[in-house]
Chains A and B, each alone.
Chain A
Amino acid sequence: MGMDFHDETVVINDILGVEEAETLLEWLLEHPQAQVDLSNCNHLHAANLQVLMALRPRIQAWPDDPELTDWLKAALDD
């Protein structure tokens, strides 16, 4: 569950709930060069998605779930 923060990477695990959006936003603000690893992510709440859309960190790896990935790529893949 939740997120693991490494030096310049945040790994999102399983499901990222709405209450994590604030934390994610703050961490990304402190780490403007950070990358996001979504390979273990099964779902993330739309609030988190908004944070990613607004801050546009580089996505290091996409989720396994094709439906989720399709939607995320529609928003985040350039």
Chain B
Amino acid sequence: MNPLLEQFLSESRDAIQSIGEKLLQLETAPNDEALMGELFRLVHTLKGNSGLFELPEMIRVLHAAEDLMDTVRAGEASYSQDLADQLLEAMDFVSAVLDEIQQAGTDSLPADAERSAAALDLAGSLKQLKPEKAQPETLTSTNPATDTATESATEAAEAANDADQDLALAQVPEAVRMHLFERMLAGETFFWICYQPEEGCFYKGEDPLFQIIQLPTLAWRALSAREPWPAAEALDAYRCLLRFECITAMDREGLLEHFRYVPDQVQIRPIALDDLPIPSGAEHDAVPVADYLQSAMASLHQGDLPSLIQSSKVLLELTAPELRIASAMRWLLLLLETQPEDQRLAAALLQRIRQQEDPAATSMPPTATSANAATGVSAMPQPESIAIDEHLTGILQTQAEILALDDHPDWLPGRLHAVAASLRAAFRCLGQEALLAPLEQALEQALEQTHPQPLRAWLEVNGAPYLASAANAMAALESQTASPAPDDATSLDSSPEVVTASTPADAAASAQPPARKFGRRLEDSYAAPSSIKVDQTKIDTMMNLIGEMIVAKNALPYLAARAEKVFGVRDLAREIKAQYSTIHRIADEMQDAIMQIRLLPVSFVFQRFPRLVRDTANKLGKEVHLVMEGESTEADKNVIESLADPLVHIIRNSLDHGLETADERRAAGKPPTGQLSIRARSESDRVVIEIADDGRGIDPDTIRRKAYEKGIIDEQALERLSDQEAVNLVFAAGFSTAAKVSDLSGRGVGMDVVRNAVAQVNGSIDLKSEFGKGTRLRLSLPLSMAVSNVMIIQSAGQRFGVSMDAVAETVRVPEANIQLIKQQKTTVLRGRVMPLMALNDLLGLDQPQVANDDREFAVLVVRLEHDFLGILVDDCLETVDIILKPLAGFLGSIKGYAGSALLGDGSVLLVINPRGLL
């Protein structure tokens, strides 16, 4: 994965975490503006970051979230539970996408219908929470490219100017449009589709042609290239430049479903009746339409349809059929014929004809469909214009705008200097170094007068040729904005653009004091964390290295012994020993320091509980007060991480089965709000976590009965079991106390899974419950899993290690004291019968265990939960501290071994996992 993507994932996860926290804080302080501001900033940053990658769904959701937060922050919408829920859900979605990216190792995720649908849904629900704005945004003040990219294609389409569609439909042959018109009058509906597959779509296994061919009932279709094809030799067959357009009778749902993988590459627009009557054809300048128009409008106004039809037919006769005016007449006649009652369309068409065919008669500017707007502008007297590249134009244009500002801030001199620096650079790029000296003079004058005028004058003279060509482009662009060309309207490409206001004068006129913004944004406060982030693998590498160093260090005493015994140099041996003790101390401290790095506070896991408890309690309709203590208690990262799932399960259990509803609680004489506490603390070298509730507790009798029903215990045990022993049966495999499987905890995962997960990190779990009063679970875990104290044992001539955590004691059992009960070797240890198993049998080694000279066997007494098991070995040797490495590769799946470790003499010790052996 590239560093940028890694950075993105890590920063996004942090942001999501903080967003969750802020939302929960807002729940208690919904009017805290600082909190709100920070929340907005977090969402904003998250969105900004996603924009750097190809993550359309994520951006869509975040854009909607940001929008919503902006209205909340501005006080246009208020914070609500519903809003928090939606935002949290949105963050869950973003998290899921991040997980996908993490797994795929790339930001170009394959299209996924579920993901797109979820994104659309979420964005939709977020949008619904936003209050309707009274004043619609005008087309000129927004950048259509960014808008369409971030909103769903459908919405963008619906918001779009009608003019877009005119242009798209103008290319449809008149006969087809007339046919559609008649079918629509008969009640059919049609959609216009523009599908522009992204350039890299072929690499994602997409075949846009196949996609579009599957669309049924097409009334019209067009296939073109988004940009001119490059020269044949330079053609890249795999860079998709296709644009598919068609008109279909398929309904909107069907279309959305059909394009569900590529919603952002498709525009779907309903066709309205008045979209269709577009006169098309060649222009003319010889037909006298002015008279016709005058009488036609009068006729229409008076409702004199016969004479309107008459004069229209005459004009149609007079003109060649391929002329645009003839087309207009055909449409007008069709409208009058099919809709004699409703003359709005006919009136609109006449208006249009007037604009197109007789522009002199109207003060309205010609639309892009008719006259050539650019020609009109360039016909005006212009200074000699020199075309330059758009970014230089942008820079010059912007400097002109800055110089046109008529404010006088304290920083005007600095601004003038900066403008001069920008102009200097730009003119150097233009190869106009000769102009730089006058520029310096202009700057000096401007500074003297503390007024931009001298610089403005310089730029007006020297920038004119470049700005003139820019002005042309601007004018053309403006007329396009009023009635955008199809390319612009249909483009969903989100290429960033320099935003240039129309002209300096306009910009100054539209200047608004941004005071509101300054005040608020400056107040946003945020505490930067003082820690640095390090990839876990780097720490693991360090951990491995220090492990190897400790092993390597342990070779020094051997070396000293060899120096003395083999080579007979005692002084050298002593020096080696002295060096060894120094290295030994440093290595120990180093190991300790690295372990410290790996320590994480339990809050790492605890932080998600407030939300979990809140959501779960809401779902269950229970009132729960959560108390958390000792969140700063630290333990090794692996231990902490292994805690997460068991704890979540325990909490769900508590909420689901333990705590009662408010009514039940009142009936039982308890306060209506249940109490759930999660407390962490350190106890010597262990971390203890207690989860307690004051719910209904566990009824030992119910447990006994259930356990008996499920065949977990027999009749004898049913009577013999103490209440505490009965309660502990919930940990038995296959036991689930829930009467009905609930949505929350009853997922076929029982407490046995929790117990196993805890045992895997050498932890233990302890359950106390008082029926009617509550339940308390106590987890005890080692602080660190990195260094293990193991006992070395010998069996079948090999050495093995066993974790001391698993070893209760070692005893020697005389052969005579071993009895066979039902084929099972047993012995009696301190009055209790203990089963015995031979390690060689467990490991599948075909050798009998060896007793010592006194006919005694070495027995490792292993604790398995509440039972003891004796493992027969040949001999128990010393205990050592080792750094346990899990077995790699396919060996890792062998359950009998916990891992391996290097010993000081360089040999490898396999460490047995007694639980896995059975």
Binding site for B on A (CB under 8 A): 18, 21-22, 24-25, 28-29, 43-51, 53-55, 67-68, 70-71, 74-75
Asked if A21 contacts B233 (CB within 8 A), the reply is no
For A43, the chain B residues whose CB sits under 8 A away are 209-210, 213
Given A43-B210, A46-B208, A74 contacting B237 (CB threshold 8 A): no
Q: Which residues of A contact B225 (CB under 8 A)?
A: 50, 53-54
Of chain A, the residue at the smallest CB distance from B224 is A75
- State the CA gap A47–B197 with chains docked (Å): 12
Is there contact, CB below 8 Å, between B223 and A44?
A: no
Scoring B residues 189 to 206 as 1 if CB is less than 8 Å from chain A, else 0, what string do you get? 000000001000010000
Are B221's CB and A47's CB within 8 A? Answer: no
A48 to B242, CA, bound (A): 11
Q: In the complex, which residues of chain A have a beta carbon less than 8 angstroms from the beta carbon of B240? A: 46-47, 50
Identify the closest chain B residue to A67 (Cβ): B213
In the complex, chain A residues whose CB is within 8 Å of the CB of B221: 70-71, 74
How far is B223's CA from A29's CA once the two chains are assembled, in angstroms? 23
Known: A47-B238, A54-B235, A71-B223. 8 other contacts (CB 8 A): A22-B238, A46-B242, A49-B209, A49-B242, A50-B225, A54-B229, A70-B221, A74-B221
The answer for the CA separation of A51 and B242 in the assembled complex, in Å, is 11
**CB pair A45 B207 closer than 8 Å:** yes
What are 21 A-B pairs at a CB distance below 8 A?
A22-B237, A22-B238, A28-B232, A43-B209, A43-B213, A45-B210, A46-B197, A46-B202, A46-B208, A47-B240, A49-B209, A49-B223, A50-B235, A50-B237, A54-B225, A55-B235, A67-B213, A70-B218, A71-B221, A71-B223, A74-B223
Shortest B249–chain A CB gap in Å is: 15
With a CB–CB cut-off of 8 A, which chain A residues contact B145? none
CA–CA, A74 and B245, complex, Å: 10
- Taken together as a complex, chains A and B put the C-alpha atoms of A55 and B232 apart, in Å, by 6
Partner of A51, one of B208, B212, B223, B237: B237
Closest chain A CB from B682 CB (angstroms): 61
- Tell me the bound Cα distance from A18 to B206 in angstroms: 9
Secondary structure at the B interface, as helix, strand, loop or mixed, is mixed
Question: Which residues in A have their C-beta under 8 angstroms from that of B241?
Answer: 50
Q: Which B220-277 residues have C-beta < 8 A from chain A?
A: 221-225, 229-230, 232-233, 235, 237-238, 240-242
For the complex, what is the distance from the CA of A23 to the CA of B122, rounded to whole Å?
Answer: 44
Whole-angstrom distance between the alpha carbons of A53 and B213 in the complex? Answer: 17
- Give the residues in chain B near A44, CB-CB below 8 Å: 209
Q: A47 to B223, alpha carbons, bound, how many Å?
A: 13
Classify chain B's interface size: 20 to 34
Report the minimal beta-carbon distance from A19 to chain B, rounded to whole angstroms: 10
Complex Cα spacing A75 to B243, Å: 10
Contact of B238 among A21, A28, A49, A54 (CB under 8 A): A21
| CB-nearest residue of chain A to B225 | A53
Residue of A nearest to B229 (CB): A54
Report the minimal beta-carbon distance from B591 to chain A, rounded to whole angstroms.
55
Measured in the bound complex, the distance between the Cα atoms of B242 and A75 in whole Å is: 10
Cα distance A43–B230 when bound, in Å?
Answer: 25
B206 to A, closest residue via Cβ: A46
Q: Are A51 and B209 in contact (CB under 8 A)?
A: no
The reply to whether A54 and B232 form a contact with Cβ atoms under 8 Å apart is yes
- Assess whether A75 is in contact with B232, with CB atoms less than 8 Å apart: no
- Please name the 10 residue pairs, one residue from A and one from B, whose CB atoms are nearest each other, closest first: A75-B223, A46-B209, A54-B229, A21-B237, A46-B208, A74-B223, A74-B221, A25-B237, A54-B235, A45-B207
Query: Using Cβ atoms and an 8 Å threshold, which residues of chain A touch B232?
Result: 28-29, 54-55
What distance in Å separates the Cβ of B248 from its nearest Cβ neighbour in chain A?
A: 12
Q: How far is the CA of A45 from the CA of B242 in the complex (A)?
A: 12
User: How distant is A52 from chain B, measured CB to nearest CB, in Å?
Assistant: 10
Q: Is the CB of B202 within 8 A of A18?
A: yes
> What's the least CB distance linking A44 to chain B, in Å?
7
A46-B202, A54-B229 in contact; A68/B213 too (CB < 8 A)? yes
Residue of A nearest to B237 (CB): A21
Expressed in whole angstroms, the Cα–Cα distance for A40 and B373 within the complex equals 48
For the complex formed, measure the closest distance between the CB of A66 and the CB atoms of chain B, giving whole angstroms. Answer: 11
On chain B, the residues within 8 Å of A28 by CB distance are: 232
Could you tell me the distance in whole angstroms from the C-beta of A21 to the nearest C-beta in chain B?
4
**B229–A53 CB distance below 8 A:** yes
Which residues in chain B, 578-608, are within 8 Å of chain A measured between CB atoms?
none
Expressed in whole angstroms, the minimum distance between the Cβ of B95 and any Cβ of chain A is 34
Contact B242 A71 (CB under 8 A): no
A18 and B213 form a contact (CB under 8 A): no
Note all chain A residues with C-beta closer than 8 A to B213: 43, 67-68, 71
Q: Bound state CA distance, A26 and B213, in angstroms? A: 26
**B201 nearest CB neighbor, chain A only:** A46
Shortest B63–chain A CB gap in Å is 30
Are the C-beta atoms of B233 and A29 separated by less than 8 Å? yes
A28-B232 Cα distance, complex, nearest whole Å: 9
B residues near A53, Cβ cutoff 8 Å: 223, 225, 229, 242
Q: Once the chains are docked, how many angstroms separate the CA of A47 from the CA of B235?
A: 11
Residue of B nearest to A20 (CB): B237
| Set A22, A24, A45: member contacting B209, Cβ < 8 A | A45
Q: CB-CB < 8 A to A21: which residues of B?
A: 237-238
In the assembled complex, the Cα of A47 lies from the Cα of B209 at a distance in Å of 9
Cα distance A74–B221 in the bound complex, in angstroms: 7
A67 to B235, CA, bound (A): 27
Q: CA separation between A25 and B233, bound complex, in Å?
A: 9
User: Are B202 and A47 in touch, CB under 8 angstroms?
Assistant: yes
Q: In the bound complex, what is the Cα–Cα distance between A43 and B202 (angstroms)? A: 16
Residues of A within 8 A of B212 (CB): 71
Nearest chain A residue, comparing its CB with the CB of B216: A67
Q: How far is the CA of A25 from the CA of B114 in the complex (A)?
A: 36
- Which residues of the other chain, A, contact B197 by a CB distance below 8 angstroms? 46
CB distance from A63 to the nearest CB of B (A): 11
A18: B residues at CB distance < 8 A? 202, 207, 238
Cα(A46)–Cα(B212), bound, Å:
10
A68 to B240, CA, bound (A): 19
Chain B residue contacts of A22, Cβ below 8 A: 237-238
In Å, the complex CA distance between A25 and B237 comes to 7
Q: How far is the CA of A54 from the CA of B227 in the complex (A)?
A: 11
Give 1 or 0 for each of B776-796: 1 = CB within 8 Å of chain A CB. Answer: 000000000000000000000
CA gap between A48 and B202 in the complex, in Å: 11
In the assembly, what is the distance between CA of A46 and CA of B239, in Å? 11
- How far, in whole Å, are A73 and B241 apart by their CA atoms in the complex? 18
When chains A and B are docked, how far (Å) is the Cα of A55 from the Cα of B230? 10
Q: Report yes or no: B224 in contact with A47, Cβ–Cβ below 8 A.
A: no
Task: Across the interface, name the chain A residue whose C-beta is closest to B210.
Answer: A43
Distance (whole angstroms) from the CB of A11 to the closest CB of chain B: 19
CA distance A51 to B241 in the complex (A): 11
A34 to B240, CA, bound (A): 23
How far does the alpha carbon of A50 sit from the alpha carbon of B224 in the complex, in Å? 9
**Cα of A71 to Cα of B195 in the assembled complex, Å:** 14
Q: How far is the CB of B171 from chain A (nearest CB, A)?
A: 11
Q: Give the distance in Å from the alpha carbon of A25 to the alpha carbon of B238 in the complex.
A: 11
Chain B residues positioned under 8 Å from A55 (CB to CB):
232, 235
Inter-chain contacts of B222 with A (CB < 8 A):
74
Look across to chain A and name the residue whose beta carbon is closest to the beta carbon of B238: A47
Encode B839-880 as 1/0 by CB contact (under 8 A) with A: 000000000000000000000000000000000000000000
Interface centre among B209, B210, B242 (most CB of A within 10 A): B209
